[in-house]
Amino acid sequence: GAVVSQHPSRVICKSGTSVKIECRSLDFQATTMFWYRQFPKQSLMLMATSNEGSKATYEQGVEKDKFLINHASLTLSTLTVTSAHPEDSSFYICSAREPGQRRGYNEQFFGPGTRLTVL
Amino acid sequence: GIQVEQSPPDLILQEGANSTLRCNFSDSVNNLQWFHQNPWGQLINLFYIPSGTKQNGRLSATTVATERYSLLYISSSQTTDSGVYFCAVEQWETDSWGKFQFGAGTQVVVTP
């Protein structure tokens, strides 16, 4: 299957700093990527849909000024957590779907995740 | 929105045992995937199965779309099967192409 990478895999930062997380599709181009958040022992919650060349679409309750998303190319989307606070500590996961797939096939592939700890 | 329920929430198996995980969803879906989240957090694609039956080694899955459920079968379980199994579904609308709704997951522990 397709491969999605994330960097960094783990980051620890001080409260008030900004952290950037990269999501890359390694062997395919992705016009759409997705960002999820997962708290310990919980399921994945969709935060936003990242669209190449246009603004991201945020889910209800997600602060767009806190979580900046940039999808600058067909292989890279970035999530920047601005002015991070301890409550932003979480596991962030991205996913991507190959474009051009026929509507009858829509498998998504997930990155390995980034564990963010804000002190 | 669509509700996705997985059962059981927790499952403890002895190595070699078989098990069935269930995913119920509240409305018709266009896509359904099963994932295994390993202890390091990586989601591994198991099956893309909006309908029908598929098999991959010791794992198989069946989705009965008309009755709104999917089953994941694990046979001859191994300790490496431990982790959380998620079901995720998607409904296509004008603006919700590719938006997954995840179930709460089934935590599986396989003991030697």
pLDDT one-digit tens code per residue, B31-74: 899 999 998 999 999 999 999 999 999 999 999 999 999 999 99
The pLDDT mean for chain A works out to: 90
**For range A64-85, the mean pLDDT:** 94
pLDDT at res. A74: 87
Please tell me the distance from the alpha carbon of residue A52 to that of residue A33, in angstroms, as a whole number: 8
Of A43, A108, A112, the CB nearest to B42: A112
pLDDT tens digits, one per residue of A21-59? 999 999 888 888 999 999 999 999 999 998 888 889 999
Given this model, what pLDDT does residue B84 score?
Answer: 97
pLDDT of residue B1: 83
Choose the mutation target among A6, A43, A55, A98 for the interface with B, i.e. most B CBs under 10 Å: A43
Q: What is the mean pLDDT of residues B13-42?
A: 95
Lateral strand order in the sheet of B52-56: B4-7, B19-25, B69-74, B59-64, B52-56
Q: Which residues pair with A79 in a beta bridge?
A: A21, A69
Residue A93 above 60 pLDDT?
Answer: yes
Q: Per the CB < 8 Å rule, is B33 touching A115? A: no
Mean pLDDT for chain B overall: 93
The pLDDT, as a whole number, for residue A102 is 54
Share of chain A above pLDDT 70, in %: 92
* Of A26, A77, A103, A62, nearest in space to B98 by CA: A103
Nearest-CA neighbor of B89 among A11, A111, A46, A78? Answer: A46
Chain B neighbors of A106, CB-CB under 8 A: 30-31, 48, 90, 97-98
Q: What is the mean pLDDT of residues A12-25?
A: 96
